[in-house]
């Protein structure tokens, strides 16, 4: 298992650890253009500050995917 990432620029492996999500999910977010990233050669790089801002701007989900106010 990888250690918690440090530094301002993260690799895809480090960001997956930081976000606590599978790399496959992160690659999907990258393909969709949902997560702020930069490609350097063949490698994706992520600025920690941009990721933190992106997380703060995302709306919170009330119950893990259910619709708010659906009574369930």
> How far is it, in rounded angstroms, from Cα 68 to Cα 57?
18
* The two structure tokens encoding residue 6: 């440090």
- What pLDDT is attached to residue 58? 82
Q: What is the pTM of this model?
A: 0.73
- Say which residue, 17 or 1, is predicted with more confidence: 17
CATH code given to domain 9-57: 1.10.10
- Write out pLDDT tens, residues 23-69: 999 999 999 999 999 999 999 999 999 999 999 998 776 555 555 44
31 vs 33: CA distance, rounded Å: 5
* pLDDT-based confidence at residue 7 (cuts at 50, 70, 90): confident
Query: CA-to-CA distance for 70 and 57, rounded, in angstroms?
Result: 24
Any idea where the domains of the chain sit in the sequence? 9-57
């Amino acid at each position: 298992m990888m250690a918690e990432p440090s530094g301002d620029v993260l690799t895809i492996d480090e960001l997956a650890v930081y976000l606590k999500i599978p790399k496959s999910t992160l690659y999907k977010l990258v393909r969709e253009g949902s997560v702020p990233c930069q490609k350097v050669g063949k490698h994706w790089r992520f600025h920690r500050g941009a990721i933190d801002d992106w997380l703060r701007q995302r709306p919170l989900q009330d119950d893990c995917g259910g619709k708010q106010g659906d009574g369930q």
